[in-house]
Structure 1
Amino acid sequence: MIRLDSISKQSGQQLLFIDASATLQRGEKTGLVGPNGAGKTTLFRMITGRELPDEGQVLVDRGVSIGFFSQDVGEMSGRSPVAEVMDGAGDVSTVAAELASLEAAMADPERADELDGIIERFGEVQGRFEELGGYALEGRAREVLAGLGFSQEMMEGDVGKLSGGWKMRVALARILLMRPDVMLLDEPSNHLDLESLIWLEQFLKGYDGALLMTSHDREFMNRIINKVVEIDGGTLNSYSGNYEFYEQQRAMNERQQQAQFERQQAMLAKEIKFIERFKARASHAAQVQSRVKKLEKIDRVEPPKRRQTVVFEFGQAPRSGDDVVNLKGVHKRYGSKVIYEGLDFLVRRKERCCVLGTNGAGKSTLLKLVAGATVPDEGTVSLGGSVKMGYFAQHAMELLDGDRTVFQALEDAFPQAAQGSLRALAGCFGFSGGEVDKKCRVLSGGEKARLVMARMLYDPPNLLVLDEPTNHLDIATKEMLIGALSGYEGTMLFVSHDRHFLAALSNRVLELTPEGIHQYGGGYTEYVARTGQEAPGLHS
């Protein structure tokens, strides 16, 4: 359906693609992977014709419809989310608009003399509308929005009043309702909670077109894709299989290439040693000459490109008392909405509690109460002895000083720290080389999240309260964070929609339900095994 044929593309000084080729066929669900800045978004833009390759061509089969979801959703306002989503449904929305204008024309007394023609056209358009499933369209639009977490009330409101994250969901719903021949999804999992993520997973599994997507959620990617296209040093490498298979295959390829490289290096060293030893002897001149020629003809094996993974040893958290957080008889409401009535629970030292609950169950509110960012209407929230808390929330990113660079922000927080240590910390969180000199005001959401996390973990507190800490992190940074937090000796209370993160780090689950709090010993994996669901109210 789509073919990238020997494409080359340069962006500024950077060569993104060099003579790269790949194909996308119907039924293929492809994950596009590669380090940040490798050119994933550029590739999407070239397929949609928003950018052109410098060389080579992008070939799209005639008549193929493409739906592209990107993080840049543009302006939306003045319509309801339902109307906005239906508007993206391609032909059917154009037909719906004509149907509405014909209905108005039939009721217009000034056009009575045209009535026969209008009625005839109305019949034709109505037939086409039915053919396209137009009458079912609104129902389908509502179904998709509900799947992505919208309440009926939100569906009717003004889309302009929604936050950026909810507008992203509207933009995603437009593409899903459109069901184009090819879906290009750039980070569709970024702003979704666990329930919406699992719903989207099921939707995409049932989609029969071609799919090309990026995602920082390895579990989500792993369950959907059957092919991986990797951007690696300007080339496009294709692997059949899911994300896990790709990782194993790439590691095996790298080991084989390394072994091949080492064998060739040993052989070359032996030949060069012979040449050096006998080049001055006339009796060996022919042999030396033949070996020199042989060396000139050999295709050199390149060593595998090493992916830079920086491992940072975080300091030990000071010990706290055994009772870390205690909530007793907590009541909390926002206006008429009751969040908790008489909530009790205790978090003990070294517990890593993940908090689960449906949308609006009060997950973030619970973390805010513990962090002191909000207060209960009744009841008490108390921290135990010697508790030093670190709280990561999305608003923490707004507190960075825009005029300071990344490195200065780290220096301000740790004036006594050695420069080398802070540079290693920055590198660990994806700020290498000149990136440490970027001003905080120009950082993306993901970069800000990484910087805030780096500041929090350099001198770790003994209680970490984390609200969606992985929201903007790429797979490599998440892996590093999981590795670092696996050895963390303190206590954790966290909300995340990343199932890999939940499974790797939790040893207790707190599930918020309308009936109260359900507590499960064992981590997220045990919770799924025990309840048969991956998120409250959803059966796996």
Structure 2
Amino acid sequence: MIRIENISKQLSHRLLYIEASAALNKGEKIGLVGPNGAGKTSLFRMIIGQELPDEGQVSVEKGTTIGYFSQDVGEMGGISAVAEVMNGAGPVSEVAAELRDLEAAMSDPEQMDRMDAIIERYGEVQARYEELDGYSLEGRAREVLAGLSFTEHMMDGDVGKLSGGWKMRVALARILLMRPDVMLLDEPSNHLDLESLIWLEQFLKNYDGALLMTSHDREFMNRIVNKIIEIDGGQLTTYTGDYGFYESQRAQNEKQQQAQFERQQAMLAKEIKFIERFKARASHAAQVQSRVKKLDKIDRVEPPKRRQVVTFEFQPAPRSGEDVVSLKGVHKAYGDKVIYDGLDFMIRRKERWCIMGINGAGKSTLLKLVAGDLTPDSGAVTIGASVKLGYFAQHAMDILDGEMTIFETLEHNFPRAGQAPLRALAGCFGFSGDDIDKRCRVLSGGEKARLVMAIMLFDPPNLLVLDEPTNHLDLDTKQMLIEALSAYEGTMLFVSHDRHFLGALSNRVLELTPEGVHRYDGGYTEYVARTGQEAPGLRS
């Protein structure tokens, strides 16, 4: 359906692609992977014709419909969310628009002399609308929005009043409702809660078109894709299998290539030593010449490309008392909406609580109560002896000084640390080379989040309160964070929609439901095994 043939592409001073080739065939579900800045978004834009390769070509089979979801959702407003979704549903939305125009014309007295032609055209368009299953369009649009966690009130309200994250969901719903022959999805798992993520996963599994997507959620990718295309060093390499298979295959290929490289280097060294030793002796001239010619003809094995591996080791956190946080009789409401009514909850040293619950259940509220950002309407929240608390929340990014560079920000927070450790810290969180000289005001939301987390973890607290810490992190940085937190000796309370993160780090689950609060010993993996569900909102 889509062929990428020998493309080369340069963006500013960066070479993105050098004679790279790949293909997307009917029914394939492909994950597109590569480091930040490798050219994933550029590839999407070349497929839809928004960009052109400098050399080579990207060809799309005639008649193929393509739906493209990107992080840039554009302007929305003035109509309801459900109308916005229906307007983007491809051919059927265009037919619906013509039907509305014809209905208006039929009731317009000034159009009486054309009425026979209007009625005839209306019949043709109506037949086409039925053929495209247009009369079920609104129902299907509402079904998709409900799957993405919209309430009826949100569906019918002005789409312009929604936050950026909810507008992203509207833009995604447009593509899903369209059901094109090919979906190009650039980070569709961003901004989704766990219930929406699992619903989307099921939708894409059942989708019979071709799919090319990026995602920083390895579980999500693993469950959907059957092929991986990797961008690395300007090349596109295809692996048949899911993300887990790709990781193991890539490691195996690198190991084999390294062994081949080392064997060849040993052979070359031996030959060169012989040439150097005997090149001045006439009796060995023929042998020397023979070996020189042999070396000239050898195809050199390249060492495997080394992708930078990010690692971060915590300094030991100071020890806290055994009772870290105590909530007793906590009541909290927003207007008439009661979030907690007499909540009792105790967190003890080394416990790692993940908080589960649908939107509005009070997950972030609980974190804010513990962190001291909110006070309960009644009851008490008590922090234990020797507890040093670190709180990661989205609003924490607002405290960065926009005029400071990344490196100046780190130096300001840790004046005695020295340059080398701070540069290493910046590198771990994805800021290498000239990146550390960027001013905070020009950073993206994801870059700000990474910087705030770097500051928090350099001098670690013994209680970490984390609200969606993996948002905006790429797969490598996320894995680094998981490995670092696995070795962390302190206590954790966190909310995340990343199932790999939840399973790797939690040893307790607190589930918030309309029926009450449920506690589970054992982490997220045990919770799934006991309840049979990956999220509370999916219970039947």
Q: Give secondary structure in 1 for the equivalent of 2:537.
A: coil
List runs of 5+ in structure 1 lacking aligned partners: none
Q: Distance in 1 between matches of 2:504 and 2:147?
A: 27
Counterpart check, 1:523 vs 2:523: yes
* CA deviation after TM superposition for structure 1 residue 127, in Å: 1.0
Q: Distance in 1 between matches of 2:409 and 2:331?
A: 38
CA contact (8 A) 1:387 1:463 kept: yes
Deviations 1:83-140 (A, max 9, x none): 0000001111111111112222222233334333222222111111111111100000
Counterpart check, 1:143 vs 2:143: yes
Counterpart check, 1:120 vs 2:139: no
Q: Distance in 1 between matches of 2:150 and 2:337?
A: 17
**Counterpart residue number, 1:75:** 75
Deviations 1:56-104 (A, max 9, x none): 0110010111110000111111111100000001111111111112222
**Counterpart residue number, 2:247:** 247
The amino acid that maps onto 1:179 is: R
The amino acid that maps onto 1:376 is: P
Superposed CA RMSD in Å reads: 1.0
The amino acid that maps onto 1:136 is: S
**Counterpart residue number, 1:415:** 415
Counterpart check, 1:23 vs 2:23: yes
Q: How does 1:227-266 map to 2 (within 5 A)?
A: 227-266=227-266
**Counterpart residue number, 2:212:** 212
**Counterpart residue number, 2:470:** 470
The amino acid that maps onto 2:340 is: Y
Summarize the Cα distance change of 1:224–1:539 in structure 2 as closer, same or farther, 3 Å threshold. Answer: farther
Q: Distance in 1 between matches of 2:348 and 2:535?
A: 24
* CA deviation after TM superposition for structure 1 residue 353, in Å: 0.2
Q: Distance in 2 between matches of 1:335 and 1:270?
A: 81
Q: Distance in 2 between matches of 1:317 and 1:527?
A: 28
Q: How does 1:445-464 map to 2 (within 5 A)?
A: 445-464=445-464
Q: Distance in 1 between matches of 2:133 and 2:447?
A: 43
Q: Distance in 2 between matches of 1:246 and 1:270?
A: 36
List runs of 5+ in structure 2 lacking aligned partners: none
**Counterpart residue number, 2:398:** 398
The amino acid that maps onto 2:489 is: E
Counterpart check, 1:5 vs 2:14: no
Deviations 1:253-293 (A, max 9, x none): 00000000000001001111111111111111100100000
**Counterpart residue number, 2:497:** 497
CA contact (8 A) 2:389 2:464 kept: yes
**Counterpart residue number, 1:385:** 385
* CA deviation after TM superposition for structure 1 residue 339, in Å: 1.2
**Counterpart residue number, 2:42:** 42
Moved more, 337-346 or 135-144: 337-346
* CA deviation after TM superposition for structure 1 residue 377, in Å: 1.3
**Counterpart residue number, 2:353:** 353
CA contact (8 A) 1:227 1:242 kept: yes
CA contact (8 A) 1:5 1:22 kept: yes
The amino acid that maps onto 2:407 is: F
CA contact (8 A) 1:88 1:178 kept: yes
What is the percent sequence identity of the aligned residues? 79
Q: How does 1:197-208 map to 2 (within 5 A)?
A: 197-208=197-208
Q: How does 1:303-452 map to 2 (within 5 A)?
A: 303-452=303-452
CA contact (8 A) 2:321 2:349 kept: yes
The amino acid that maps onto 1:21 is: S
Deviations 1:157-199 (A, max 9, x none): 1111111100000000000000111100000001101000000
Aligned residues: 540
The amino acid that maps onto 2:173 is: A
Summarize the Cα distance change of 1:291–1:539 in structure 2 as closer, same or farther, 3 Å threshold. Answer: farther
**Counterpart residue number, 1:53:** 53
Q: Distance in 1 between matches of 2:356 and 2:309?
A: 31
Moved more, 248-257 or 302-311: 302-311
4+ runs deviating over 3 angstroms: none
- TM-score, normalised with respect to structure 1: 0.99
The amino acid that maps onto 1:150 is: F
Deviations 1:487-509 (A, max 9, x none): 11110000000000000000000
CA contact (8 A) 2:310 2:476 kept: no
Q: Distance in 1 between matches of 2:536 and 2:410?
A: 39
The amino acid that maps onto 2:211 is: L
